[in-house]
Structures are given as C-alpha cells and as structure tokens.
C-alpha cells in the first residue's frame, strides 16, 4: 500500500520556513509518498510558508488556518477540505505546546491551555476525521506523542500528562474504530534539534551531551527528521490489523536505563 493520491491533513504540520519542525517534516514525507497534504495551523504565515515549501497552492492558506483548540475552527476547516476533495484518508495530529515550569508555579489557566491544544484538539480532529472515514471503511490516524508519555521528567507535568493521555486515547479509539477499517496509532519521536529547542541546546550543550550519552544509539534524531520517514510511511499505509500501537523512534532512549 502507499499514500499516492490520498488526502492527508496534518494538524500542527507547519513551520516558519515550511520545513524546520517535526510536523512540517511529516508533511514533506507524506507529499513524497504522493499524498495531497494539507497542513493546518493557527498561524496563517506558517501555513502559507509550508504550502509553498511543499509546492502546493498557497491560495489554500485561509481554509487551512485554524485554531486547533477551537472545535468550531477545526470543523470549518475539515468541512472545507471535504467539500474541495471529497474525503479524508489520513489524519496526523502533530499539534502541541509545552511549558517547562515547576508544577507548583503553574496555574489552572496554563494547564487548561495545554490540555486544550495538546489533547482536546486531537480528540476533536480524530472525531471529525473518523466521521468521514468510517462510512468509507478506511482511514489512517497517527497521533504524535512524546517520550514524556512514557517516562517522568521534572517541570513538564502538564505537557507529559497530555501526551500520556494522547497515547491512551489512541488505544481507546483503536478499540472502537478498528472494526470500521480505521487504523489508529501513535508515533513518539525522540530528541530532535528543531527551531523550538535549538537556541536552548546551543546555550546549554552539556544537556545535549547528557541526552546523547543516555541514548543507546549515541545520537539524537537527524537534522532532516529522516528517522521519522519510514515509521510515518508505515503508520499511514498499514493494514487496519495494526491498531492501537505506539511506535517509539528515539534511538532507544526511553527503554534504556539511567546508567
């Protein structure tokens, strides 16, 4: 199987330069498979930049600009996509925000924002996509989680909680929707240097050294995110007999001991 001529929505699949983020890279990998890729983000400039980098029609920017934390925004965008292209074949939920902060210093409003973007928006997107996939008896949903879903870290409780919930959501949706021909799985990227963390890692190279030392592969993810290409291809083309799985791509970091 392949993704040729498939209609693929990637929520959170944008970057300022159209390339330098995990979500944007996933868009390029799907494009390379032959899919019609539709990156969705609340920032129109990033949507336009990513469409341009993909070689796609930038006139789609208004339709794909949506605040994922607002269900009505996502519903409008999904309706527009189905109106234009007739179906949704692939959904990737790559949206997310993170705050590194002591839990005692985080108020309810900060928790609610992170939950709304990282978890509830994924629930909305999954429901909107599945409602259009189930009548056709086919579809692939991939939820992008995090190593914080698998092991504990200090000062990222809200982020890790939402990503852990996203892994759990993946399993529950697979139990409901596998019988309808849908494949619902999660992908957990390990450490990659991106536009978001590059400055911090450059200022604190010892942190990157510690990460590499604790990773059995003795490196972080490659700069072009190519380590994620094959796993994404698999999860967006696999038989629905593959369901509810969490594929971890981190060089062995999460499964390794601390020694």
Q: What is the pLDDT of residues 57-80, one digit of tens each?
A: 999 999 999 999 999 999 999 999
Is 199 or 155 the better-scoring residue by pLDDT? 155
Which pLDDT belongs to residue 201?
85
Is 90 exceeded by the pLDDT of residue 130?
A: yes
Label the pairing between strands 182-189 and 90-93.
unpaired
Question: Which of 7-16, 59-68, 118-127, 149-158 is least confident?
Answer: 149-158
Q: Do 176 and 139 meet the contact criterion of CB atoms below 8 Å apart?
A: no
Q: What's the sign of the alpha-carbon dihedral 182, 71, 96, 82?
A: positive
Map tokens 């794909």 to a residue: 64
Map tokens 């209609």 to a residue: 7
- Percentage, residues of the chain above pLDDT 90: 90
The mean pLDDT value for 197-225 works out to 92
Which pLDDT belongs to residue 259?
46
Which pLDDT belongs to residue 199?
84
| Residue (of 205, 182, 178) closest to 193 by Cα position | 205
Which pLDDT belongs to residue 189?
97
Is 50 exceeded by the pLDDT of residue 182?
A: yes
The mean pLDDT value for 215-234 works out to 96
The full DSSP string for 69-132 is T-HHHHHHHHHHHHHHHS---EEEE---------GGG--HHHHHHHHIIIIIHHHHHHHHHHHH
pLDDT per position as a tens digit, 18-59: 999 999 999 999 999 999 999 999 999 999 999 999 999 999
Which pLDDT belongs to residue 257?
66
pLDDT per position as a tens digit, 233-254: 999 999 999 999 999 999 999 9
| Residue (of 143, 100, 90) closest to 121 by Cα position | 143
Q: How far is residue 133's CA from residue 90's CA, in Å, rounded to a whole number? A: 9
| Residue (of 161, 40, 63, 60) closest to 112 by Cα position | 161
- The helix-helix angle for 108-115 and 157-177 (nearest 10°) equals 30
| 3-state SS assignment for residue 36 | strand
- Band (pLDDT 50/70/90 cuts) for residue 4 is confident
């Amino acid at each position: 199987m392949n993704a040729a001529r498939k209609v693929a929505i990637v929520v959170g699949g944008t970057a300022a330069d159209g390339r330098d983020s995990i979500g944007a890279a996933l868009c390029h990998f799907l494009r390379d498979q032959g899919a019609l890729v539709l990156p969705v983000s609340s920032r129109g400039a990033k949507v336009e930049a990513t469409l341009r980098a993909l070689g796609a029609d930038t006139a789609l920017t208004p339709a794909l600009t949506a605040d994922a934390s607002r269900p009505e925004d996502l519903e409008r965008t999904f309706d527009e996509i189905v109106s234009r292209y007739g179906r949704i074949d692939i959904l990737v939920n790559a949206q997310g925000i993170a705050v590194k902060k002591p839990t005692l210093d985080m108020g309810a409003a900060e928790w609610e924002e992170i939950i709304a973007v990282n978890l509830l928006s994924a629930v909305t997107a999954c429901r909107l996509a599945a409602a259009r996939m189930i009548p056709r008896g086919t579809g692939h949903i991939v939820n992008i989680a995090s190593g914080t879903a698998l092991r504990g870290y200090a000062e990222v409780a809200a982020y890790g909680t939402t990503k852990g919930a996203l892994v759990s959501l993946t399993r529950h949706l697979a139990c409901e929707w596998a019988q309808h021909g849908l494949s619902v799985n999660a992908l957990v990227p390990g450490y990659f240097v991106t536009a978001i963390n590059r400055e911090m890692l450059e200022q604190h190279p010892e942190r990157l050294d510690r990460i590499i030392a604790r990773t059995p592969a003795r490196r972080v993810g490659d700069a072009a995110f190519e380590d994620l290409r094959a796993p994404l291809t698999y999860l967006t083309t696999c038989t629905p007999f593959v369901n509810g799985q969490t594929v971890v791509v981190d060089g062995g970091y999460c499964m390794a001991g601390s020694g």
